[in-house]
């Protein structure tokens, strides 16, 4: 396959970036998208140019490291996939592909397609945990959790923290990410105790980090590689209102 790439190149957060054209003419359609990027980088390095920096690690869709806008869509055109699981068979021979970083005020560009997502860690630090120090817990089967509750908590907990939801949202909102953690923990009896405190702190940290308000377009769910549901956002809003109403 022949592929025409238009890739965002940017030296660092302060420098202005631009789209640069690259041509690849021996792309195998079995290649993953990132393997195609590896091939490009090999060619650039040997020519003495700087390779395109992009984030990636596990290359099996679970670590949440990779993330880029491919033809304007987070992780590319196929629903339910991360960029590392996308394969070149999804593109036509001769296609032009635009590759850009996840863009959001709270995700400053480090270089090229690499962005700083440490704001997500800080949202979790604000309260995305259960206070259970090592050694304290009681025997696991003393706490019964129905099959349905465990499965539903898992559905929320499956978020990989890639940031596709933020990059997709026209307000750059982190509502889906934040709400997934709030819901995961609130749905379980272990997490209920701190639910009110958690939601207030996490939502307030989300705002402080510069993420926008939920735009209610539900685009985040569509682009989420893990299929995290927007019902989590509804849950977060409910938990938030409840916590505020019952406060003191």
In order of 41, 72, 151, 204, 214, the CA distances from 248 in angstroms are 58, 46, 33, 18, 27
Q: Which residue has the tokens 């997934």?
A: 180
Name the phi and psi angles at 157, rounded to 5: -75, -10
Rounded to a whole number of angstroms, the minimum distance from the CB of residue 217 to another protein is: 26
Q: In angstroms, what is the minimal distance from the CB of 14 to another protein?
A: 13
CA–CA distance, 244 with 237 (Å, rounded to integer): 11
Does 137 engage in binding with another protein (CB under 8 A)? yes
Q: How far is the CB of 137 from another protein (least distance, A)?
A: 4
| Of residues 56 and 235, the one with the C-beta less far from another protein | 56
**CB nearer to another protein: pick between 152 and 215:** 152
Interactions with another protein, residue window 170-189 (CB under 8 A): 184-185, 188
Site for another protein in 204-243 (CB under 8 A): none
**What part of residues 148-167 is at the interface with another protein (CB under 8 A)?**
149-151, 153-154, 157-158, 160-161
Instruction: Count residues near another protein (CB under 8 A).
Output: 78
The token pair at 103 is 């863009």
Q: How far is the CB of 119 from another protein (least distance, A)?
A: 10
Nearer to another protein, 87 or 215 (CB): 87
Please report, for residues 23, 59, 84, 89, the alpha-carbon distance to residue 97 in angstroms, rounded to integers and kept in the order given: 10, 20, 16, 13
Show Cβ contacts of residue 41 under 8 Å, excluding neighbours closer than 6 positions.
Answer: 51, 52
Residues 7-46 that bind another protein (CB under 8 A): 28, 30-32, 34-35, 38-39, 42, 44-46
d(CA 34, CA 86): 8
The binder of another protein chosen from 14, 25, 146, 247 (CB under 8 A) = 146
Q: Which of residues 72-131 bind another protein (CB under 8 A)?
A: 78, 80-81, 85, 87, 89, 110-111, 114, 116-118, 120-121, 124-126, 128-131
Closest to another protein by CB, 42 vs 93, is: 42
């Amino acid at each position: 396959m022949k592929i025409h790439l238009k890739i965002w190149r940017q030296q660092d957060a302060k420098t202005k970036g631009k789209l640069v054209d690259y041509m690849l003419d021996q792309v195998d359609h079995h290649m993953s998208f990132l393997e195609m990027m590896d091939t490009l980088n090999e060619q650039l390095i040997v020519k003495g140019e700087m390779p395109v920096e992009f984030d990636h690690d596990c290359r099996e869709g679970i670590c949440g490291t990779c993330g880029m806008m491919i033809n304007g869509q987070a992780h590319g055109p196929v629903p339910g996939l991360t960029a590392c699981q996308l394969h070149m068979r999804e593109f036509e021979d001769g296609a032009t592909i635009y590759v850009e970083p996840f863009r959001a005020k709270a995700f400053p560009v480090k270089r090229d397609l690499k962005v700083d997502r440490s704001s997500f860690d800080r949202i979790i630090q604000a309260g995305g945990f259960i206070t259970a120090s090592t050694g304290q817990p009681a025997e696991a089967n003393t706490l019964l959790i129905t099959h349905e509750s465990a499965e539903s908590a898992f559905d929320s907990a499956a978020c990989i923290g890639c940031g596709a939801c933020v990059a997709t949202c026209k307000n750059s909102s982190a509502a889906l990410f934040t709400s997934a953690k709030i819901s995961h923990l609130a749905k379980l009896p272990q997490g209920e105790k701190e639910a009110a405190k958690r939601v207030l702190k996490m939502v307030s940290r989300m705002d402080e980090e510069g993420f926008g308000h939920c735009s209610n377009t539900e685009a985040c769910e569509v682009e989420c590689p893990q299929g995290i549901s927007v019902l989590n956002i509804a849950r977060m809003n409910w938990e938030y209102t409840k916590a505020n109403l019952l406060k003191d």
